[in-house]
DNA sequence: AAGATGTTTGCAACCGGTTGCAAAATGCTC
DNA sequence: GAGCATTTTGCAACCGGTTGCAAACATCTT
């Protein structure tokens, strides 16, 4: 079915090597043969088989894009940016949906079978050991939206979740709240753990402020709504740091159902700044995660590691900032 | 770096063929050699190179998943289901983000370079000619969420958008509305054209009902909001069929800002039933598109076409149904 | 015009597998 | 244990490319 090198070579009256070289960047071909080859290739509609060439070059230009966040609207933006960013560099994303899988062995084996040049693990909930399994298998890897560790074994790109937690606490303090709370995602998610830690760190120097914590069972609307409904049954806090935007939106839905107003009765600050947060009917005050920068850096890093595999593991953290909208009362002036 | 067939063969003391055959379904190997080979393979951590074998078998198990809908929350569900469904069948999705590209030539060339076994075009806005370009190149293809045509040139799986438009009109009529309107997505999108057609078809037999139409510039929150804000400046209809859920949610935001209530002052019915539609703070009455069934059928169809490439183009349309929630007043009894 | 230099070319081996074929091994029957 | 059918095995060619190497060719000196 497909046209091969050999057919082009015969038609152009040259050797197979000549054809191969015409399609290889920086190979030695005279303008004359190149012209002959290109003419023949056009007539036949030839384009080289990337997989066959990968056998000898050792490069497939395939990048495994591994994620378990297929229910978080932020990740639609993430996939959009990753696929575009990779395509712009001539790379192809091979998507792996982890869903409930937590053992990296299968993913590692599968992606090695396809000889991916590198892997990007895009997840804020997977443990660092997941990405490390790829490194151990000799596959260049970066953990995007991953957890910061002081002695990383793999490249990590993301935000400083501890700093974000702190930032959220400070935002609530600055608004004069005396009873605040952190409503996290699942307790096992690394991002939740870190955000909680930063949140309470910042509050440590404010003993006058009462703080509490609870965890939703998932980063989802329903979980946020349920958890907030539960919280509102007893004595709720004045303002909540929701571990994620969707969670916060769910929480706000429970607050509204209870007949309370946001931000007058209960304040909410989210995290992520997904597209939906700025919808006027949601208008969520939140902490913005610079998704585009994180993704750019992740791609740069994986490409860099492909070129120099022994490169030292690096952590790139991007600063977040509070986006003022309507779910937190203004700072007293 | 990677372990090869040859090394396993040497270690097991057998020929390369023997090793190949142990990893090939249904090949002839004695239990004894199989055991030797498996032992050696385990010790070395060998797993066969899928790309190399594809050279001779002609199968890569790669499926191109082509889409331009990276801003529609429904498509997060779509990608989730596609990736899982493909993985469950041992296939690997190679994701292609079309963004602004409308010429299929590049995608076709690229996916042929990677010898994908088949392609799924997942888009409700691309014209049929897009998928046809793959078929013309000899690549098995199905257009998922595509437009129904009476004499299809490629497999199409989706919904009957004309029937959906009709269903929406009937829902509004049943509720006793006398002034209704269709607020579509971009006028060029095939899905919008068909939904409009069905909507007005159904109204043709109800001359007493006044109907109007307008188009938002995109299937997005902002576009829906803008368009509805414009509509509300003059004399609005009693109830709107929004061409899509996100569009409808945007429209409702404009309605709320104007101080009008849904459904008492203005009714809204959407289309898709994306996860968000059932969020209690949105609670959108909408027409449900059976996404999971569409995706299952798409995968079945592309797999079937890979096995029998000359298979006659087929159209599989799935029935939609109205999901009653809170944005349309109840039917008078 | 011969020699030195640089460029272009084809040969042949290789990348990591698969597979048709014939030889070797095995299992059965008598 | 010979004779036969059946299964298992290895050889060698092939899939569609790339690349080191040496020969062929072109270009430039002197």
In this predicted model, what pLDDT tens digit does every residue of A219-276 receive, in sequence order?
999 999 999 999 999 999 999 999 999 999 999 999 999 999 999 999 999 999 999 9
Q: Indicate if the pLDDT at residue A1 is higher than 70.
A: no
Is the residue at B114 inside a domain?
Answer: yes
Q: State percent of chain A over pLDDT 90.
A: 89
**CB count in 10 Å sphere of residue A7:** 15
The pair of three-digit structure tokens given for residue B237, joined into one six-digit string: 């209809």
Task: Give chain A's mean pLDDT.
Answer: 94
Taking a contact as any Cβ pair under 8 Å apart, which residues of chain A between 236 and 265 contact chain B?
249-250, 252-253, 256-257
Spell out which residues of chain B touch residue A42, defining contact as CB-CB under 8 Å: none
C14: residue with closest CA to C1': A56
Is the residue at B100 inside a domain?
Answer: yes
B75–A92 C-beta distance less than 8 A: no
The pair of three-digit structure tokens given for residue A280, joined into one six-digit string: 């006027």
Q: Indicate if the pLDDT at residue A136 is higher than 70.
A: yes
Distance from CA(A19) to C1'(C8), angstroms, rounded: 13
> Taking Cα atoms as reference points, which of A320, A321, A309, A289 lies closest to residue A155?
A309
> Taking Cα atoms as reference points, which of B314, B225, B226, B60 lies closest to residue A94?
B60
Q: Indicate if the pLDDT at residue A131 is higher than 80.
A: yes
> Can you tell me the mean pLDDT for A147-163?
89
Q: If pLDDT is split at 50, 70 and 90, which confidence band does A102 have?
A: confident
Which segments of B99-189 does DSSP mark as H helices, in order? Answer: 104-113, 128-136, 161-174
Positions in chain B short of pLDDT 70: 1
Residues B198 and B267 in one domain: yes
Q: Which of B3, B88, B223, B280 would best serve as a mutation to test chain A binding (most A beta carbons within 10 A)?
A: B280
> Can you tell me the mean pLDDT for A305-328?
94
Is the residue at A175 inside a domain?
Answer: yes
Is the residue at B56 inside a domain?
Answer: no
Residues B170 and B315 in one domain: no
Is the residue at B55 inside a domain?
Answer: no
Instruction: Nearest by CB to B109, from A47, A138, A257: name it.
Output: A47
Distance from CA(A131) to C1'(C18), angstroms, rounded: 33
Q: Which of A58, A92, A98, A327 would best serve as a mutation to test chain B binding (most B beta carbons within 10 A)?
A: A92
Torsion sign across C-alpha atoms A104, A109, A112, A113: negative
Is the residue at A115 inside a domain?
Answer: yes
Residues B141 and B257 in one domain: no
Strand C contacted by A5 CB (< 7 A): no
Looking at the complex, report in whole angstroms how far the Cα of residue A78 sits from the nearest Cα belonging to chain B.
10
Q: State percent of chain B over pLDDT 90.
A: 89
Is the residue at B72 inside a domain?
Answer: yes
Spell out which residues of chain B touch residue A64, defining contact as CB-CB under 8 Å: none
Residues A193 and A266 in one domain: yes
Residues A146 and A230 in one domain: no
Residues A179 and A215 in one domain: yes
The pair of three-digit structure tokens given for residue B268, joined into one six-digit string: 């809204």
Residues A313 and A220 in one domain: no
Residues B167 and B117 in one domain: no
Domain assignment of residue A9, given as a range: 5-48
Torsion sign across C-alpha atoms B117, B121, B126, B129: positive
Does A281 reach chain B within 8 Å, measured CB to CB? yes
Strand D contacted by A56 CB (< 7 A): yes
Does A283 reach chain B within 8 Å, measured CB to CB? no
A279–B253 C-beta distance less than 8 A: yes
> Taking Cα atoms as reference points, which of A211, A222, A227, A216 lies closest to residue A184?
A216
Convert the pLDDT of each residue in B136-182 to its tens digit: 999 999 999 998 877 789 999 999 999 999 999 999 999 999 999 99
Q: State percent of chain A over pLDDT 70.
A: 100
Count of structural domains, chain B: 3
pLDDT score for A25: 86
Does A56 reach chain B within 8 Å, measured CB to CB? no
pLDDT score for B190: 83
Distance from CA(A91) to C1'(D12), angstroms, rounded: 37
pLDDT score for B101: 82
Is the residue at B105 inside a domain?
Answer: yes
Residues B217 and B117 in one domain: no
Residues A138 and A225 in one domain: no
B2–A112 C-beta distance less than 8 A: yes
CATH of the domain at A300: 3.40.50.2300
A95–B110 C-beta distance less than 8 A: no
Instruction: Nearest by CB to B281, from A60, A92, A256: name it.
Output: A256
**What's the CA gap between B32 and B38, in Å, rounded?**
10
CATH of the domain at A15: 1.10.260.40
pLDDT score for B1: 66
Q: Indicate if the pLDDT at residue A217 is higher than 90.
A: yes
Torsion sign across C-alpha atoms A21, A26, A32, A34: positive
Which nucleotide C1' is nearest B56 CA? D15
Convert the pLDDT of each residue in B248-270 to its tens digit: 999 999 999 999 999 999 999 99
> Is residue B96 within 8 Å of B79, Cβ to Cβ?
no
> Is residue B322 within 8 Å of B285, Cβ to Cβ?
yes
Spell out which residues of chain B touch residue A309, defining contact as CB-CB under 8 Å: none
Which segments of A266-326 does DSSP mark as H helices, in order? Answer: 291-307
Half-sphere exposure of B215 (CA within 13 A, CB side): 13
pLDDT score for B149: 78
Looking only at the bridges linking them, the beta strands covering A267-272 and B286-288 are unpaired
Strand D contacted by A174 CB (< 7 A): no
Residues A12 and A82 in one domain: no
pLDDT score for A299: 98
Q: If pLDDT is split at 50, 70 and 90, which confidence band does A27 have?
A: confident
Quick one: which H or E segment has residue B182?
strand B179-184
Residues B283 and B186 in one domain: yes
C7: residue with closest CA to C1': A28
Lowest-pLDDT range of A168-172, A194-198, B189-193: B189-193
């Amino acid at each position: 079915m497909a046209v091969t090198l050999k057919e082009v070579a015969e038609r152009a009256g040259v050797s197979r090597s000549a054809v191969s070289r015409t399609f290889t960047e920086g190979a030695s071909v005279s303008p004359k043969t190149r012209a002959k080859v290109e003419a023949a290739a056009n007539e036949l509609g030839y384009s080289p088989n990337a997989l066959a060439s990968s056998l000898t070059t050792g490069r497939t230009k395939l990048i495994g894009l591994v994620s378990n966040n297929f229910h978080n609207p932020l990740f639609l933006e993430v996939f959009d940016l990753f696929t575009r960013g990779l395509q712009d560099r001539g790379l192809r994303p091979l998507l792996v949906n982890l869903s409930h899988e937590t053992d990296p062995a299968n993913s590692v084996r599968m992606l090695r079978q396809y000889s991916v040049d590198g892997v990007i693990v895009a997840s804020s909930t997977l443990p660092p050991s997941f990405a490390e399994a790829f490194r151990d298998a000799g596959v260049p890897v970066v953990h995007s939206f991953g957890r910061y560790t002081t002695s990383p074994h793999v490249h990590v790109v993301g935000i400083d979740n501890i700093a974000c937690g702190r930032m959220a606490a400070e935002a609530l303090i600055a608004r004069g709240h005396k009873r605040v709370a952190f409503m996290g995602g699942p307790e096992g998610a690394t991002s939740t753990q870190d955000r909680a830690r930063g949140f309470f760190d910042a509050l440590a120097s404010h003993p006058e402020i009462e703080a509490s914590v609870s965890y939703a069972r998932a980063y989802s609307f329903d979980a946020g709504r349920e958890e907030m409904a539960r919280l509102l049954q007893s004595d709720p806090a004045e303002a909540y740091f929701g571990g994620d935007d969707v969670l916060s939106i769910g929480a706000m839905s429970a607050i509204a159902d209870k007949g309370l107003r946001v931000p007058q009765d209960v304040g909410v600050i989210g995290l992520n700044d997904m597209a939906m947060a700025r919808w006027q009917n949601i208008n969520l005050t939140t902490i913005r995660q610079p998704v585009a920068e994180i993704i750019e850096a992740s791609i740069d890093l994986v490409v860099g590691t492909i070129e120099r595999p022994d490169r030292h593991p690096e952590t790139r953290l991007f600063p977040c900032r509070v986006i003022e909208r309507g779910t937190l009362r203004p700072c007293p002036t």
